[in-house]
A and B are shown apart, each in its own frame.
Chain A
Amino acid sequence: DGGITQSPKYLFRKEGQNVTLSCEQNLNHDAMYWYRQDPGQGLRLIYYSQIVNDFQKGDIAEGYSVSREKKESFPLTVTSAQKNPTAFYLCASSILRTRVATGELFFGEGSRLTVL
């Protein structure tokens, strides 16, 4: 069953703790993305990666970190430096534009992080 898998679906964290959200895809997509979804603010890009071992900051990267050691995996760490981490996090993947200009992102089901 092809697609994007995010885990965990729900996560609770105490203030001051780092937490890592998992994102795995078996679509053989080159590009992967992390978005944050807040009510009234839409989707805001945190980080994205177009190739293994390379990634770029999005619009709201402060307090977050990522790695891309494998094509299939793009974990996101929410660090204690993130001031308002309670949110819904979406991972996505796509074919690189330079290969096929579709612009279509495939999304995971999301992870809801709550900081207590």
Chain B
Amino acid sequence: AQRVTQPEKLLSVFKGAPVELKCNYSYSGSPELFWYVQYSRQRLQLLLRHISRESIKGFTADLNKGETSFHLKKPFAQEEDSAMYYCALLPYNTDKLIFGTGTRLQVFP
């Protein structure tokens, strides 16, 4: 079965602390993975995609096929990072993104 698991509903950290939002996937093929973010009163939007190997707003995510994980990391959290984060999987040859249940990140001053 194709599935995305985000085990944490809520992650709270203080400003300047490292952040790791966990994402595990279940997929038999070669996955395409994404992180989406929804800031308060804003639209859900793409944060980054694994295929681009990019760093956006200080966030990075590395695909680990052995552990079937795609954790989102940032070395020093900022208050403006507070948002809802969704990990998503795009199976091969489809246009249907499969989303995880989301993790709310709270960054305290």
B46 within 8 A of A: yes
Contacts of A43 in B (CB 8 A): 44, 86, 99, 102
Contact of B43 with A50 in the complex, beta carbons under 8 Å: no
Contact A103 B101 (CB under 8 A): no
Residue of A nearest to B34 (CB): A103
Q: Across the two chains, which residue of chain B brings its CB closest to A49?
A: B95
| Contact for B95 among A35, A96, A107, CB less than 8 A | A96
Interface size in chain A (residues, C-beta < 8 A): 26
A40 proximity list for chain B (CB < 8 A): 9, 101
Specify which chain A residues have a CB less than 8 angstroms from the CB of B97 in the assembled complex: 45, 103, 105
The reply to whether B101 and A41 form a contact with Cβ atoms under 8 Å apart is: yes
- Across the interface, which residues of A come within 8 angstroms of B88, CB to CB? 103
Say whether A108 contacts B43, CB under 8 Å: yes
How far apart sit A96 and B93, CA to CA, in the bound complex (Å)? 10
Interface of B is mostly: loop
The docked-state distance in angstroms from the alpha carbon of A104 to that of B95 is 10
B95 close to A48 (CB less than 8 A): yes
With beta carbons under 8 angstroms apart, the residue of B6, B44, B90, B102 that contacts A90 is: B44
- Chain A, 73-116, CB within 8 A of any chain B CB: 90, 92, 94, 96-97, 101-105, 107-110
- Chain B residues with CB below 8 A from A16, complex form: none
- CB-defined interface of B8-49 with A at 8 Å, one 1/0 digit per residue? 010000000000000000000000101010000001111001
B102–A48 CB distance below 8 A: no
Q: Report the separation of the CA atoms of residues A48 and B44 in the bound assembly, to the nearest whole angstrom.
A: 18
Q: Which residues of B contact A31 (CB under 8 A)?
A: 95
Chain B interface (Cβ < 8 Å from any Cβ of A)? 6, 9, 32, 34, 36, 43-46, 49, 86, 88, 90, 93-97, 99-102
- Given contacts A104-B34, A105-B46, A107-B45, could you give 4 more A-B pairs where the C-beta distance is less than 8 Å? A43-B44, A43-B86, A58-B96, A97-B94
